[in-house]
Every structure is written in structure tokens, then in C-alpha cells.
Amino acid sequence: MQLVLFSGGAAEGLVNGLRHEFQISTGCEIAGTFGAVGAMRQKLLAGAPADLVVLTAPLIAELARSGHVRSGSAVDIGLVYTGLAVRVGDPTPRVGDARALRAALLAAEVIHLPDPKLATAGIHFAKVLDGLGLADEVRTRLRPAPNGAAAMRALAAASEPRAIGCTQVTEILNTPGLAFAGPLPEPFELVSLYTAAVCTRAQLPDEAARLATLLGSDAARPMRDKAGFRHRA
């Protein structure tokens, strides 16, 4: 059996870390598609078959209202911050306040980011650039990618001496060759709650519910911590 999962890229490392445990306990493999949350939502709305979705909480709520996920099936997984990354070995810039963040972005030769129209971090980062008054100044340095994972792989492979990237912390930590520089500072901070929910037309609803429960379980908390999720106080 194969459980079809549509997930925001923020949860890819967590799902991969729990994949073997889930298969052993259920006999079911996970066929996961990971990408920008907006793209995953569009796939589901277009009729693509799926058993479970992992998206930001507002999108899950929207899909519940429209009847695309089962009411009462949602399981919160954890909070994900959006932050900055550089390649391992490069100087780590200060990004702890708005002035430092602005200076770090101005100093970068290229800036890698996820889709500014469909990805949670990409949409937000475009607003950050506007808020810092940098949108026009750095426009030619921007290197958008379809999702955060692709953006971070591109950053890790970048050849420019001064390269930086912005996406969700879980995607930074899941990409070899990168160092986490820090979360976006106030007032530009972005924290997203990720939630799993069983799709209304799921072919494997029981297994989907078990995976959702596993992702949000106390037993999986060390794996969530390692993947970069945070928990409500």
C-alpha cells in the first residue's frame, strides 16, 4: 500500500525521519510530494488524489470549510520560524534586528528564496524586502525557486562569494552544506503552525489518520525538535 501525502516543504525532514517507523507499524509506504503550500493546495483543489495533507493551519481550516479535508481530523504538528541561511564556511551575518538584516541583504550578491507567490516564506520575504525599502534595490539579485527546499539546494550550490537565503528553518536544517544564521527579527518575524489533516476522498483514511497522529505525537517530539519545529509554551 502507498499513502499519498501532499505536504509543505517544511515537514519533509520530519516525514522522512518517521517514514521507516510508519512503514513498519502499518505496512504502508509514504508517497510524499513536498513543495510550496500554495502549490500543494492547488493540487488538491484540482482533484489530485491524496490521503493526507500537511499545510499551514489557516489553509487546513480553509480546506475543511470547503469540504476537501475531513472535519475533526486535523492534528497540529508544530511551529516553524522563517529565517536566514548561508553556506557552511561563509561568514555568518548578524540578522538580529532590522538594521542588521538590511545590511546583510544589501551585502549579498545573490539572495535565494522560495516562490514569492505560492510559498509561505517566499510570500512573507517579499513583504520583508518591501518593509526594509529594498525591493527595487535587490530585485536583480533575487533567485526564486519553486519551494524552500529547492531554494536552499541552490544556495548550497551557489558560486558567488556572498550568497544568502531565506526560507523556513526546517528546510534550512534539512539541507546539507548550509548554516542557520538566525530567524527573521521583529517586526519581520514569521511563525507558521503546521497541521496535518485527512483528505475527504482518502483511499487510506485510517492509515492517514495514524500518520497524522504520529507526526504530532509526544513520541515524535525529539524528531520534531531535530527537524526544527518548535512547540507552544
Joined grid coordinates for residue 115: 516562490
Is 71 in a helix, a strand, or coil?
Answer: coil
Burial-class residue 224 by CB neighbours within 10 Å (0-12, 13-18, 19+).
Answer: buried
Residue 126: per-residue pLDDT: 97
For 204, phi then psi, to 5°, come to -125, 65
pLDDT in tens, 132-178: 999 999 999 999 999 999 999 999 999 999 999 999 999 999 999 99
pLDDT in tens, 22-74: 999 999 999 999 999 999 999 999 999 999 999 999 999 999 999 999 999 99
Dist. CA 178–CA 52, nearest whole Å: 30
What CATH number labels 2-79+193-227?
Answer: 3.40.190.10
Dist. CA 24–CA 26, nearest whole Å: 6
Contact 3, 51 (CB under 8 A): yes
User: Cα 100 to chain center, whole Å?
Assistant: 24
Residue 233: per-residue pLDDT: 64
Collect all residues with Cβ–Cβ distance below 8 Å to 195 and sequence separation of at least 6.
Answer: 54, 55, 56, 57, 60, 74, 75, 76, 77
Angle subtended at Cα 10 by Cα 105 and Cα 114, rounded to the nearest 5 degrees? 40
Joined grid coordinates for residue 83: 529565517
Cis before 146 (ω within 30): no
Dist. CA 153–CA 169, nearest whole Å: 14
pLDDT in tens, 104-143: 999 999 999 999 999 999 999 999 999 999 999 999 999 9
Nearest-Å Rg of the Cα atoms of the chain is 18
User: What is the location of CATH 3.40.190.10 in the chain?
Assistant: 2-79+193-227, 80-183
Q: 162-175 burial by CB neighbour count: b if 16+ within 10 A, else e?
A: bbbbbbbbbbbbbb
Dist. CA 122–CA 4, nearest whole Å: 25
Neighbours of 112 (CB within 10 A): 26
Residue 232: per-residue pLDDT: 75
Residue 85: per-residue pLDDT: 98
Dist. CA 41–CA 218, nearest whole Å: 27
**For 230, which DSSP code?**
B
**Which helix (DSSP H) or strand (DSSP E) does residue 186 occupy?**
none
Is 211 in a helix, a strand, or coil?
Answer: helix
Neighbours of 201 (CB within 10 A): 15
80-183 homologous superfamily: Periplasmic binding protein-like II (3.40.190.10)
